[in-house]
């Protein structure tokens, strides 16, 4: 580079001495600098309108089936956002941009394929989809448009970190972004294994899954996904901190909104599943008075104590316990909250 710069200066001096101005020296020196010393590239890889379309078009599936907005629309939006980033040059921009875009592609593709397999092979989920469809607004399907657009806005904000990590370079910011992306990939792996393990267990007729990842994480699919999107958003915000501008601040805000939105959705889903499991495995089974049922309840309570539910919203678990106690007394079984072992109808 320095040799090329020297040749350019000599040629200019020999042919046009009067044109050898200070600005020429500055441009030559800038061209001769090493790549690592140059200013980071501007954020031009991921087109904003393209990112918006990548969120809106898959979400429009909700006009057909309402549940598809938050299933295939969700996975499709993440897949389309990652593919858009790759198509616009993320692979050649930096390894960080490539890794981040591939994370979205892998997550979206896995989710869409998993949902398709589940819909084709497990009748229960078709019933759930039909129940959701029955609760959809009656009349014109365009009444579903506000819900579809609100989901699309969330997906757009969740993809916003791609706009920020496409320009991050080496240094402290790059190292922190790499660490956060590694955590995001770890969350993706936990969520994928959790979905696979639970699907296999349900196909075999297992009621409550308490082994493998579920031994310590009661809902690893939700917990892993929450870690994935939190780390992805923080990676974008960390990248924005190294190139402060009004544009990066706006994209960082969008990333924070997307992260907060999906964390609330996942916490809501986790809380609902916690309530249903408590009602099914701690309340309903207590209606029988045989020792096997009580022993099963003890196993459920022990699992609660040794595992973590992840991020949840607050719900009245005392009310559930009180209802369970009443049902135990009605059935003639002995209340056992607090531990112990049932032997021949007595509690020790």
3-class DSSP state for residue 217? strand
Contact 320, 277 (CB under 8 A): no
**What is the Cα–Cα distance from 258 to 163, expressed in whole angstroms?**
13
Q: How far from chain centre, in Å, is Cα 138?
A: 31
Closest CA to 153 of 54, 26, 250, 7: 54
Contact 112, 76 (CB under 8 A): yes
The CB density around residue 206, as the number of other CB atoms within 10 Å, is 12
Question: Can you list the alpha helix ranges (DSSP code H) found in the chain?
Answer: 2-15, 22-32, 48-59, 72-87, 90-93, 95-121, 123-134, 145-159, 161-165, 172-203, 220-241, 246-278, 291-306, 317-331
Contact 98, 82 (CB under 8 A): no
C-alpha distance from residue 54 to each of 71, 187, 248, 317 (Å): 15, 23, 20, 40
Closest CA to 158 of 50, 230, 96, 244: 230
The confidence score (pLDDT) of residue 46 equals: 66
pLDDT, averaged across the chain: 77
The confidence score (pLDDT) of residue 344 equals: 33
> For residue 130, what are its two tokens?
């039909």
> For residue 42, what are its two tokens?
């501007």
Q: How far from chain centre, in Å, is Cα 239?
A: 19
Q: What angle do CA 64, 146, 81 make, to 5 degrees?
A: 75
> For residue 137, what are its two tokens?
């607004």
Phi–psi pair at 308, nearest 5 degrees: -115, 135
**pLDDT one digit per residue (tens) for the chain, 348 residues:** 554 444 444 445 444 544 445 544 454 444 444 444 444 444 455 688 999 999 999 999 988 888 899 999 999 999 999 999 998 876 666 889 999 999 999 999 999 999 998 888 877 677 777 777 777 666 677 888 999 999 999 999 999 999 998 876 545 567 899 999 999 999 999 999 999 998 888 778 777 888 899 999 999 999 999 999 999 999 999 998 888 889 899 999 999 999 999 999 999 999 999 998 888 887 544 444 455 555 556 678 888 889 999 989 876 554 444 343 333 333 333 333 333 333 333 333
Q: What is the DSSP string of 113-132?
A: HHHHHHHHH-HHHHHHHHHH
The confidence score (pLDDT) of residue 326 equals: 34
The confidence score (pLDDT) of residue 173 equals: 67
pLDDT tens column, 42-97: 445 568 899 999 999 999 998 888 889 999 999 999 999 999 999 887 666 688 99
**What is the Cα–Cα distance from 43 to 248, expressed in whole angstroms?**
9
3-class DSSP state for residue 224? helix
The CB density around residue 313, as the number of other CB atoms within 10 Å, is 12
């Amino acid at each position: 580079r320095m040799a090329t710069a020297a040749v350019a200066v000599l040629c200019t001096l020999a042919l046009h001495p009067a044109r050898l101005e200070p600005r020429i020296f500055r441009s030559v020196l800038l061209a001769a600098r090493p790549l690592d010393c140059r200013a980071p590239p501007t954020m031009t890889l991921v087109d904003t309108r393209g990112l918006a379309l990548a969120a809106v078009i898959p979400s429009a599936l909700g006009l057909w089936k309402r549940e598809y907005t938050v299933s295939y629309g969700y996975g499709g939006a993440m897949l389309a956002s990652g593919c858009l980033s790759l198509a616009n040059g993320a692979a050649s921009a930096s390894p960080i941009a490539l890794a981040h875009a591939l994370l979205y592609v892998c997550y979206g593709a896995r989710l869409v394929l998993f949902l398709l397999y589940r819909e084709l092979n497990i009748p229960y989920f078709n019933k759930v989809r039909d129940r959701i469809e029955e609760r959809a607004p009656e009349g014109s399907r365009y009444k579903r448009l506000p819900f579809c657009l609100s989901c699309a806005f969330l997906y757009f904000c969740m993809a916003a970190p791609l706009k920020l990590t496409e320009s991050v370079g080496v240094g402290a910011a790059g190292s922190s972004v790499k660490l956060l992306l590694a955590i995001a990939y770890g969350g993706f792996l936990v969520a994928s294994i959790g979905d696979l393990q639970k699907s296999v267990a349900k196909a075999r007729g297992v009621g409550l899954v308490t082994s493998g990842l579920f031994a310590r994480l009661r809902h690893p699919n939700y917990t892993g996904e929450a870690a994935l999107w939190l780390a992805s958003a923080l990676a974008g915000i960390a990248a924005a901190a190294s190139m402060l501008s009004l544009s990066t601040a706006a994209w960082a805000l969008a990333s924070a909104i997307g992260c907060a939105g999906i964390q609330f959705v996942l916490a809501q889903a986790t809380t609902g599943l916690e309530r249903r499991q408590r009602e099914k495995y701690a309340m309903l089974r207590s209606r029988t008075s045989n020792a096997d049922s009580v022993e099963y309840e003890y196993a459920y309570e022990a699992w609660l104590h040794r595992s973590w539910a992840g991020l949840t919203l607050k719900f009245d678990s005392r009310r559930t316990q009180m209802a369970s106690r009443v049902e135990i007394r009605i059935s003639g079984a002995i209340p056992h909250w607090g531990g112990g072992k049932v032997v021949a109808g007595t509690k020790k």
